[in-house]
C-alpha cells in the first residue's frame, strides 16, 4: 500500500458519506478511499454518525400494502448491474467511469494527454497523463480542483504528491505541478469549474479542447 | 443460544489482497443490537421473518429520514422500497466487524437516494484488505455496537438547533450555502453550528477509539 501524506479533508469525507458532493468530486474521494485506510476509518466514523441519526429519525407512516408488496418481490432477480473492479493502476471508481475499458487519450500538446471521464452540471473529471519532467502548464483555478495521483508523482510549490495523494486547489492556489522523473504521471483531476490553462493555449481554443 | 457466523463476507476485489475470517458464537446475541441480529439472520439464513421485523422497525424511520431531505412522501416511499430490497439482496456484504448495522444501512440509504434522484451511479471505494495487525474477532463488533449506543446518547443530548444542522449535513442537504438559504441563518452561523455539533459527536467518538 502506498504511503499517503495528502488526504481528503474530513468535512469532504462527511459530505461524501451524505452524498452531497458533486459527482466528479465523489469520484476522486472514492478513488482516494480505495488506497487510504485512514480516510476509510474517517468515512466509517461519519457513517456511524449518519446511522445514529437514522435510528433517531422521526417515523413516518407508510402507505398500506407497502410491506406486502416488498415482501412479494424479495426473490425477484434484480436487474444485473455491472461491477467494475480495480484494474492495473486504476481503482474501481475510475474503472466504473471508464466502463471497464482502457483510457482513450487525447493529446493536449507537449506530451500531455487527457481523457475526459465525466462532464455535468456539478463539474467535470478527467484523467491526465504527464510525461516525466514535463510541467503541467500553469493554470489558475476558478473554483475547487482535486487532483489524485494514480501513477508516478508530481511536485509543485506546495510539496510532492505520490500515488494515492490528493492535492486540493482553489482560487488562491497558483501552482505549477511538474511530473517527477520516472514513470509518466497519471492523475485523476476533478473540478467544479472549467480549468483555465493560461500558458498552454489561447483561451479561444479552450472550448475546442474542453479544458 | 444463537450462533452467529462471523466470517467476513465476500467483498469486491480490492487493489490489495484479502483478509482472513473468524468464527465466533455469541450467547443470545447479547450486546448485539437488534438491527445487527436481524441483519445477520437475513445474511446467513435468508430469514424472511427477520426481514419482516426489520421492515416494521426500519421502514417508517427510513421514510422519515428521507423526507427530512425534502423528498415528497411518494419519492421517499420509492427510495425506502429500494433500500429495503437492497438490504435483502446485499446482506452478504454486511460485516459487523467493519460497520454497525445502522451505519451500513445509512450508507445504502444515501447511495440509493442519490442513484434514484440523480440517475447516475455513485462511485464507491474499493474494499481494502483487513489491517494486518487486526485479526477480526467479536470484540470489534462489540466495540462498534458500544460506539453506536454512545452516539445515540450524544445525539439525544444535542440542542435542537444543533441536531437539526447535523441532520441536514448527514441527510445530504447539499452545501452550507443551501442550508443557509433554507433556514434563513447566516452562513457563518450555519458553519459554526455544524462544527460545534460535529465536534461534540467527534469527541464522543474519540473517547471510544
Ligand atoms: Zn486519506
Length of chain A in terms of residues written: 211
Q: By C-alpha distance, which of A161, A103, A41 is closest to B103?
A: A41
3-state DSSP assignment of residue B192: helix
Check CB contact of A86 with chain B, cutoff 8 Å.
Answer: yes
The residues spanned by each domain of chain A are 1-57+85-211
Chain B hits for A62, Cβ within 8 Å: 59-60, 63, 77, 80
Element (H, E) at B65: helix B48-68
Surface-to-core class of residue B67, CB atoms within 10 Å of its CB (0-12 exposed, 13-18 middle, 19+ buried)? buried
Q: By C-alpha distance, which of B101, B113, B111 is closest to B151?
A: B101
Look up cell 474499493; give the residue: B126
CA distance B87 to B108: 8
Give pLDDT, residue B65.
93
CA distance A122 to A105: 23
Look up cell 506530451; give the residue: A111
Note the pTM of the prediction, 2 decimals: 0.81
pLDDT digits (tens, 9 = 90+) for A101-129: 999 999 988 899 999 999 887 788 999 99
Contact indicator for A21, A15 with CB cutoff of 8 Å: yes
Chain A hits for B93, Cβ within 8 Å: none
Residue contact B48–A56, C-beta within 8 A = no
Residue B58 pLDDT > 90: yes
Mean pLDDT of B174-190: 49
Banded pLDDT at B13 (limits 50, 70, 90) = very low
The residues spanned by each domain of chain B are 1-123+134-140, 157-209
Choose among A27, A31, A60: nearest Cβ to B60: A60
Specify the range with the lowest mean pLDDT, choosing from A16-25, A199-208, B40-49, B159-168: A199-208
**Distance set, CA A12 to CA A39, A174, B11, B42, B73 (Å):** 10, 22, 25, 33, 29
- Among B47, B109, B123, B177, pick the best mutation site for testing chain A contact (most A Cβ within 10 A): B123
pLDDT digits (tens, 9 = 90+) for B68-88: 888 889 999 999 999 999 999
Check CB contact of B93 with chain A, cutoff 8 Å.
Answer: no
Contact indicator for B26, B32 with CB cutoff of 8 Å: yes
Banded pLDDT at B200 (limits 50, 70, 90) = low
Mean pLDDT of A137-166: 84
Provide the percentage of residues in chain B whose pLDDT is more than 70: 65
Name the grid cell of B143. 466495540
Residue contact A20–B89, C-beta within 8 A = no
A1-57+85-211: which CATH topology?
A: Jelly Rolls (2.60.120)
Name the grid cell of A107. 493529446
CATH of domain B1-123+134-140: 1.10.1740.10
Those of residues 36-55 in B touching chain A at CB distance below 8 A are: 48, 51-52, 55
Strand partners, B125: none
Amino acid at each position: 500500500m502506498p504511503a499517503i501524506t495528502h488526504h481528503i479533508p474530513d468535512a469532504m469525507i462527511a459530505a461524501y458519506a451524505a452524498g452531497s458532493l458533486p459527482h466528479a468530486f465523489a469520484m476522486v474521494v472514492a478513488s482516494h478511499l480505495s488506497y487510504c485506510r485512514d480516510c476509510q476509518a474517517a468515512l466509517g466514523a461519519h457513517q456511524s454518525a449518519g446511522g445514529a441519526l437514522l435510528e433517531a429519525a422521526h417515523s413516518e407512516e407508510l402507505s398500506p400494502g407497502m410491506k406486502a408488496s416488498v415482501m412479494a418481490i424479495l426473490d425477484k432477480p434484480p436487474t444485473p448491474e455491472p461491477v467494475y473492479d480495480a484494474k492495473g493502476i486504476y481503482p474501481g471508481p475510475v474503472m466504473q467511469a471508464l466502463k471497464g475499458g482502457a483510457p482513450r487519450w487525447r493529446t493536449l500538446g507537449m506530451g500531455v494527454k487527457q481523457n475526459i471521464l465525466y462532464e455535468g452540471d456539478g463539474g467535470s473529471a478527467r484523467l491526465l497523463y504527464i510525461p516525466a519532467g514535463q510541467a503541467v502548464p500553469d493554470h489558475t483555478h476558478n473554483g475547487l480542483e482535486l487532483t489524485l495521483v494514480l501513477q508516478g508523482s508530481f511536485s509543485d510549490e506546495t510539496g510532492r504528491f505520490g500515488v494515492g495523494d490528493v492535492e486540493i486547489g482553489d482560487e488562491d492556489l497558483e501552482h505549477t505541478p511538474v511530473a517527477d522523473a520516472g514513470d509518466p504521471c497519471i492523475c485523476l483531476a476533478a473540478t467544479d469549474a472549467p480549468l483555465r490553462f493560461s500558458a498552454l493555449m489561447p483561451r479561444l481554443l479552450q472550448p475546442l479542447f474542453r479544458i | 443460544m444463537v450462533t452467529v457466523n462471523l466470517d467476513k463476507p465476500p467483498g469486491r476485489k480490492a487493489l490489495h489482497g484479502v483478509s482472513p475470517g473468524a468464527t465466533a458464537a455469541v450467547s443470545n446475541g447479547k450486546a448485539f443490537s437488534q438491527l445487527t441480529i436481524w441483519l445477520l439472520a437475513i445474511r446467513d439464513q435468508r430469514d424472511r421473518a427477520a426481514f419482516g421485523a426489520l421492515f416494521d422497525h426500519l421502514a417508517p424511520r427510513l421514510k422519515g429520514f428521507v423526507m427530512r431531505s425534502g423528498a415528497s412522501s411518494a419519492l421517499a416511499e420509492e427510495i425506502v422500497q429500494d433500500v429495503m430490497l437492497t438490504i435483502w439482496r446485499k446482506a452478504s456484504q454486511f460485516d459487523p466487524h467493519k460497520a454497525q448495522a445502522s451505519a451500513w444501512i445509512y450508507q445504502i440509504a444515501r447511495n440509493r437516494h442519490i442513484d434514484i434522484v440523480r440517475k447516475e451511479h455513485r462511485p464507491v471505494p474499493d474494499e481494502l484488505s483487513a489491517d494486518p495487525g487486526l485479526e477480526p474477532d467479536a470484540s470489534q463488533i462489540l466495540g462498534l455496537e458500544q460506539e453506536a449506543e454512545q452516539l445515540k446518547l450524544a445525539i439525544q443530548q444535542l440542542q435542537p438547533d444543533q441536531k437539526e444542522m447535523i441532520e441536514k449535513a448527514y441527510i445530504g442537504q447539499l452545501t452550507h450555502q443551501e442550508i443557509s438559504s433554507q433556514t434563513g441563518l447566516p452562513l457563518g452561523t450555519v458553519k459554526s453550528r455544524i462544527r460545534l455539533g460535529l465536534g461534540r459527536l467527534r469527541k464522543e467518538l474519540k473517547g471510544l477509539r
